[in-house]
Amino acid sequence: MATVAVIGLGGMGSRMAGRLLDAGHDLVVWNRTPQRASDLVARGAVPADSPAEAARRADMVITMLSDPAALQDVAEGPQGILAGVTASTTLVEMSTVGPAAVRRLAGMLPDGVGLLDAPVLGSVSEAESGSLRIFVGGPEPLVQRWMPVLGALGSPQHVGPLGAGAAAKLVANSTLFGVLAVLGEALALADGLGLPRDIAFEVLSATPVGSQADRRRPAIESGQFPLRFALSLARKDVDLVLSAAESASVELPVAAAARQWVVAAQEAGLGDGDYSAVIAHITDAARSA
């Protein structure tokens, strides 16, 4: 068993922290809004007054934050994580922040402090059940040391050196936006050509996007998109994908086109809802065109 600090107790971080408690680890928690830690504290977690204090108390520090700016805020400064880590600490960055943020963090670490990047694939239900896919980047000995702890959260996979985890997550996420755009446009085309929705879904079930069409059909037909992954965060992720591609001199015209729909849906006021609502925005936009 280890002492693990979890910094960032939103929908994902709080559930991951709960899994660590259930696995028997000692847990230290910190969040900008302290009230979010109350349930975990009631279950035995120890609250910290700052990210630095959380890091000082822990063998392993997990960050689960919204974006690169949030990571920078909690990692740097006199009360940040980097002020509290020691040579016996391993920092595990599990947010979706992209390779550039991981490189920045690595460049600021004190000597001897271990760092893994281990972003996750999945949403709150997978975090709660411990069935996340975890893409881990870092040196083999450090990865193997912490595999048992990460295993309480899901299925960790070592994908390469430091930064590879962040890269793998962007590769995975790049498919999400394209699939939503294709599905939305296919339904918009069916509407425009007068094909009834039930027939359209039957047709789509026989295509490469069939599983996504079947999965999202109830939400599309009801117009209710339960929040699993906020559209505002999807906008951040698609921007990270395109920024990383630009840095690598890779052109992604399909991803750029999918981003246009994500941006349009956010500008239409859907940013606080689930990202899959972009499908409804595409079909609505087609009707009003």
Residue found by looking up tokens 């996504």 in the block: 212
Active-site pick, 15, 169, 217, 259: 169
Tell me the C-alpha to C-alpha distance, in Å, between residue 122 and each of 28, 37, 84, 99. 24, 22, 30, 19
| Active site annotation includes 169 | yes
Q: How far apart are CA 224 and CA 281, in angstroms?
A: 12
- E strands, the chain, in order: 3-7, 26-30, 46-47, 60-63, 90-93, 114-117, 120-121, 132-137, 154-160
3-state secondary structure of 109: coil
* Cα–Cα distance measured from residue 289 to residue 283, given in angstroms and rounded to the nearest whole number: 10
The one-letter amino acid at 7: I
State the Cα–Cα distance between residues 258 and 278, nearest whole angstrom. Answer: 10
Q: What are the φ and ψ backbone dihedral angles of 193, each rounded to 5 degrees?
A: -95, 5
Q: Check if the beta carbon of residue 200 is closer than 8 Å to that of residue 190.
A: yes
Give the residue numbers marked as catalytic.
Answer: 169
